Structure 1
Amino acid sequence: MHKILSTVLALALVTAAAVPAQADPATDARAAAPPDVTVAFAVYDRDSARTTLRFNEHQQIRSASIVKILIALDYFETYGATTPIPEADLALLVPMLRSSDDDAASELWVRLGWEKIVERAVVRLNLRDSAPPVNVGFWGYTALSAADVVTIYRHVLEDAPAPVRDFVMGNLSEATKCATDGFDQSFGIPSAVPGRVAFKQGWSRFGDVPPRPCVEPKPRRDLGASKDGPERAATPDLTRPAMHTTGTYGHKIMAVLTLEPEGTTWDESARRITALTGAVYLADRIIGG
C-alpha cells in the first residue's frame, strides 16, 4: 500500500508540475504593453459593486487632463447643482469636457482656487492616492491613480446630484474625436471598447503640435496650445510622456493610465494604449465581468 501511495503521489507531483499555474488575467492584460511602459488600470462593475480587474491601481501618476473632471465637479460644488449655468461658463465647461480644452480648464482652475480644487476633492470623494500638483500653476501635474479615477466616476454616477451627473456624463458621452488643440483623442476606450462609451482622455509631453491634422469634427474653439510646464523630476513622474484613457461602457467604469519612455511618439503611444485597453476589456470579459 505504501508503495502504491508513493507512486500515486509521485504521479500527482509530475502532473502538477506539467500543468501551468492559472494565468492572472490582469497580468496577461498588462503584457499588451512593453515592460518599459508604466501601466496602471482598474475596471469596476457597478452591478456587482466590485473592482473586477486591477493592476498597479494605487500608483500615483500625473493626471494630465483627467483632472478636468474634478474641475467640473468643483464648479458645481461652488455655484450649486441646480443654478442655471451662464452661457460664458457653458463655453468653458462643455469644450473642457468634450474636447479637452486646456485654456478653458486653466481659466476655471484659477477662478476656483488652483490646488484647492484637488484638496477639496480628496476630502469630499475620499480619494486615497490623489494630491495637488507640486507646481500649482500646472493642473496637469495633479497626482491620481487608476483606483481614484474609478472613485471619481462612481461619485459622478452614484452620489452627485442628478443635474451634475447628467451634465458631466452627457458631455463625456459626446466627447469629440478631435481635441481643441488638434490632437486626435480617439485612442483607448473609444477605439478598443465596442458599443456606446463616455470617455475622458489625458496626455502630456507630446509637444504642442499634433503629428497630423485631426480629421473632423473641427475644434470648437481656437484657444492656443497646451503648455506642460518646466521639465523637472518629481513624484509623480512629470517628465515621461503620459497617455490615459478613462470612461464608462454599459455598467462598467474603466481607467487605463500609462507613462511612456521619453521620446515615444504620439502615434506609438496611441497604438500601445489602444492595444492595452483592448486587452483589459477582453480580460475583464473572460473572467465574467
Structure 2
Amino acid sequence: MKLPSWISKEKVVLRDLHKIKSALREKSLHTVCEEAMCPNRGECFKKGTATFLLLGNICTRNCRFCSVPKGKPLPVDEKEPENIAKFVFENKIKYAVLTMVNRDDLPDGGAYHIKKTVEEIKKLNPSVKVEVLVGDFKGNLRDIDTVLEANIDVFNHNIEMVKRLFPKIRPKADYKTSLKILNYVFKNYSIPVKSGFMVGLGESKEEIIDLMKDLKANGVSILTIGQYLRPSMKNAEVKKYYTPEEFKEFEEIGLNLGFDFVFSSPFVRSSYMAEKVFEGLKK
C-alpha cells in the first residue's frame, strides 16, 4: 500500500545521532527506538532522548506488528540497572522511559530487574521522573507489585490493538489480561495509568471506540493512539492509513470519554514525547 503524503518524517542526519548512539554503545544499552525501528528515532536521538529497552533485545513473544528480534534471550545483564542510571545522570535526562522485552523465560518476567533500574536512577538523581512501560508478566499481579515497589511516576502498559485482532496479531498476549493489569494498578496505586494502541491493522471505528471505553473503564488516564507502520515485509500488513483529521477525531472522542490526556497522531508512539505528555497532565 502506497504511503500517503502525511506519512513522512524529516530526513535523519547521521552525525546528529552519533553522540547519543555512541554513549549507549559504551554502556551496552539497548533502545526500543532502534530495535523496534521507531519512525521517530532520528528526531528523539537528535534531541538527546531515548526509551531504554531492558532485559536484552530478544523477545520471547511473536507479535506480528513488532520488529524486535524473537527467540531465546541471552542471560540478564546484571550491570544494566547501574549503567542506565549512569547514562541518565551523565546526559542530564529529566524524564526517563524504561520499557522491556517480554521475558517469559524468567520466573518473575524481569520485574525485579525493572524495579532495580528505577531504584538506581532515583539513587543518583531523585528528581528524575521515571515512566515504566512493561509487558503483561502473564497476568501475575505479584510481579506488577514488584515493579511498583520502586518510586515510579507513570505506569504504562500498552493494549496495542482492538480485542478482535489479538489471536491473529498477538497470539501470546490476552486482551482481558491487559485490562486486568491496568485496572489493578488504578485501584491499588496513586499514580497515573497510561496505555496506547495502534490503528491501521484492520479494525473498525466502532472497535476503536469500544477499546477506548474499555481502557477508560479500567482506570487509564493517559491514552496514546498512533498509526501502525509495517517495519518489514515479515510483519503484518497495513490495512489502512488514517488521516490526521481522523486522529483528531479520536482525540476528541477520548477527551469526551473522560481521559485526562489523549495524544493521537500518525507518528505517536507510547513513549514518544512522554515528558511533554506528563507535563500536560499536571497542568
Give yes or no for TM over 0.5. Answer: no
Rg larger in structure:
1
TM-score, structure 1 length as denominator? 0.27
Higher RCO, Cα 8 Å, sep 6+: 1
